[in-house]
Structure 1
Amino acid sequence: MATPEHSLEDTLGSHITTTLRNAIVCGDIKPGTKLSEPKLAREYHISRGPLREAIRRLESMKLVKYVPREGARVITLDLPQVIEIYHIREALESKAAALAAHNISEDGLNKLKHLLALAEQHMATSGGAYIQADVDIDFHYQVIQSSGNQMLIHLLCEELYYLIRMYRYQSSLQPNRSHNALIEHQQLIMALEQRDEQLAEMIMRKHIVRARQNIEQQILKS
């Protein structure tokens, strides 16, 4: 049975993990930054025990990397790494979409429609600029959650989800790709409503492939 002290440390560890994770993803803590335990302990008014646990959790999320003789540093994502992530997404998220077509609830469908409406509203008011990172990522997150497959949910939402968000905050895509992505999201919702597993899988796969190809074009231009 956990002691009150251990329970408090677990709560503090979870809180500081969330705080640091969001700061890293949004760029408030820059890529390559060394996570100084004394500095962070002072800044967040927390003891070193929960802080070390938080850093270990961030390592498991692949947001922080331990460098020998230097300590923990925030990862720096480069485009080849992002391409690797998108190859993994292509395989796993397409399967998640197929499972979602079978398992998604009416509430899940309504959440997707709401997220799509938010994206459409944002694009209408921004002249076609890229869909807000939170809205677009949460659309995929909702599809994955609706798959009902706990292993897929863990792999995508716990391990890749924050890396993808980190990349999206650091980059912007061209408006024409945003318009195409919006159409593909609409098509996916239709496939989910029709409970068409093969169609949902195909649409999600093509959606992610096109996004990856867009990133590859960036690499060629750089």
Structure 2
Amino acid sequence: MKKTEKQMTLSSKVYETVKEKIISGEIAQGSKITEDSLSKEFGISRGPLREALRHLESDRLVNRIPHAGIRVVTLTKDLMKDVYVMREALEGMSARLAAENMTAKQVGELFSLLDAHEEEIHKKRGKLYFQNEGDLDFHYKIAEASNNNWLRDLLSGELYQLLRVSRHHTCQIPNRPHKALAEHRNIAMAIESRDPELAELLMRRHISGAWKQVEQVVLKLKY
């Protein structure tokens, strides 16, 4: 049966709201999510609600556990390590391909985006560097510019929201915002210089450095 426009709108609203709460940590990792509670919170029927939950599940933000219901993903040390190993490999290649394929206009937009990010960091007094979704995300723009459908599907699609959750850990680590921005600028300059090897190397170092810092945060968590 074809979904009505109203159902799709309600489903999208629940999906977007719950997604951002999970990514920001407002809904804690491992928390149980029930259809009853969400139905009451949003005042919607089970149909669009279940569609939203399926979308969250496909984003790997929630898991259906037998006899335990639906729970928010828990970023254990092992899971996060796997995510960062994946990020280093995929985003390194993404940066390499972006250096080969990005147009001059796209490169200019990349630097403009980083200028906007610098202003936001300044407004947050250097305490936060959390990028909004899609075209406002440095890593997303590079993945899109790679012109490789597999990389785009993984980095901008299937793994994207889970990557955003993992990145949320690093964006609040003291001194990380300014350091991350500087590393982003160096990657952008390598892309502008059409130096694929350097772009990949700098991106890999950027991701690896982020993991070394976030690992210390995860070690303090008891999952």
Note whether the superposition's TM-score is higher than 0.5: yes
Offset at 1:125? 4.6
**Post-superposition offset of 1:133:** 4.1
CA distance in 2, matches of 1:187, 1:146: 17
Alpha-carbon shift at residue 147 of structure 1 (Å): 0.9
Q: Spell out the pairing of 1:54-69 with structure 2 (5 A cutoff).
A: 54-69=52-67
Name the counterpart of 2:193.
194
Equivalent position of 1:75 in the other structure = 73
Partners of 2:169 and 2:215 lie apart in 1 by 16
User: Separation in 1 of the partners of 2:190 and 2:29?
Assistant: 38
TM-score, with structure 2 as normaliser: 0.85
Superposed displacement of residue 163, structure 1? 1.8
Deviation, structure 1 residue 152: 1.0
1:142-221 to 2 correspondences below 5 Å: 142-170=141-169, 172-175=172-175, 177-218=176-217
CA distance in 1, matches of 2:123, 2:51: 42
Match of 1:18 among 16, 32, 36: 16
Q: What runs of 5+ residues in structure 1 fail to find an aligned partner?
A: none
- The Cα RMSD (Å) is 2.6
SS in 2 for 1:134: coil
5 Å-filtered alignment, 1:77-116, equals 77-116=75-114
**Per the alignment, do residues 72 and 213 of structure 1 end up closer, same or farther by CA in structure 2, a change over 3 Å counting?**
same
**Using the alignment, how far apart are the partners of 1:119 and 1:43 within structure 2?**
34
Identity %: 40
- Give the C-alpha shift of residue 92 in structure 1: 0.3
Give unpaired runs (5+ residues) of structure 2. none
Contact 1:94–1:200 (CA under 8 A) maintained in structure 2: yes
Instruction: Name the TM-score, length of structure 1 as normaliser.
Output: 0.85
User: SS of 1:29's equivalent?
Assistant: coil
Residues matched between the structures, number: 219
Check conservation: 1:112, 1:189, Cα contact below 8 A: yes
Q: Give the Cα separation in 1 of the matches to 2:33 and 2:122.
A: 40
What is residue 141 of structure 1 aligned with on the other side?
140
| Aligned-partner residue type, residue 216 of structure 1 | E
